[in-house]
Amino acid sequence: MMKKIGLIGGLSWESTADYYKRINEYVKNQYGGLHSAKCLVYSFNFHEVVELQNNGRWQEATEEMITAAQSLEKAGAELVIICTNTMHLMAKEVQEAISIPLIHIVDVIAESIKSHGFSKIGLLGTRFTMEKDFYKEKLEEHGIETIIPTEEDRAIVHHVIYDELCQGIVCPNSKASYQAIIERLASRGAEGVILGCTEIPLLISEHDTLIPLFDSTKLHAEYATKLALLPKEQVS
């Protein structure tokens, strides 16, 4: 019995579409034929969320995320994923407000990092993800040290995410900038780099760098789908 996956999306819709595609491709690969995933999507107006982020109104953002998760649970979702890295800032509060599992993106990524035997990792994401402690602390719980880009490089990474990728713009010059930033992280000891924004895989992939990349979208979407295909008693 396939369980319903609740997706908190629209953060941005481009990455949510990628989640939806990956989830359904995984189910099709497992079962073939006309099989697809059972999904429920709560899609935000990303402009409104960005306004809350930029103005530091994180409590309001938390309340919005809780409402989204509760709506998905009431609609029949049996597990929930937040289709963005940054809004895992309030993952704990969201999980406490619902009775179904919230699959935390950092836990999933950390397991993949550990399977490679790595303990020192670079992190790319929005400036909120890179600069606030929630992401680094979660990785630290798994014994993983985080290296973030310099202030100048963080500004570039953040700009490309919001002003290009979230608006569907993929620029070759930006790919080159990201490649250079990844090389600088590697020179500081990073054994791999987390693509810690769900839009970044739209720009760069593991084929574009010499060190391993951890695609947060792919890892998160596939892990959640695997859980959705397990017997109910194995999902917690």
pLDDT at 27: 96
pLDDT at 198: 87
Token digits of residue 82: 């937040």
Mean pLDDT, rounded, of the chain: 95
Tell me the pLDDT tens digit for each residue of 147-194: 999 999 999 999 999 999 999 899 999 999 999 999 999 999 999 999
Token digits of residue 50: 């960005």
pLDDT at 187: 97
Q: From the candidates 16, 166, 197, 217, which is the catalytic residue?
A: 197
For this structure, is 217 an active site residue?
A: no
Residue 4: how many other CB atoms lie within 10 Å: 17
pLDDT at 41: 98
Contacts made by residues 112-118, CB under 8 angstroms, sequence distance 24+ = 112/214, 112/219, 113/139, 113/142, 113/144, 113/192, 113/194, 113/214, 114/142, 114/143, 114/144, 116/191, 116/192, 116/212, 118/144, 118/191, 118/192, 118/212
Digitized pLDDT (tens) for each residue of the chain, 236 residues in all: 899 999 999 998 989 999 999 999 999 999 999 999 999 999 999 999 999 999 999 999 999 999 999 999 999 999 999 999 999 999 999 999 999 999 999 999 999 999 999 999 999 999 999 999 999 999 999 999 999 999 999 999 999 999 999 998 999 999 999 999 999 999 999 999 999 998 899 899 989 999 999 999 999 999 999 999 998 655 55
Q: From the candidates 84, 126, 129, 146, which is the catalytic residue?
A: 84
pLDDT at 236: 53
Q: Which helix (H) or strand (E) holds 146?
A: strand 145-147
Token digits of residue 59: 């409590």
Residues 169, 231: Cα–Cα separation, whole Å: 40
For this structure, is 171 an active site residue?
A: no
pLDDT at 1: 81
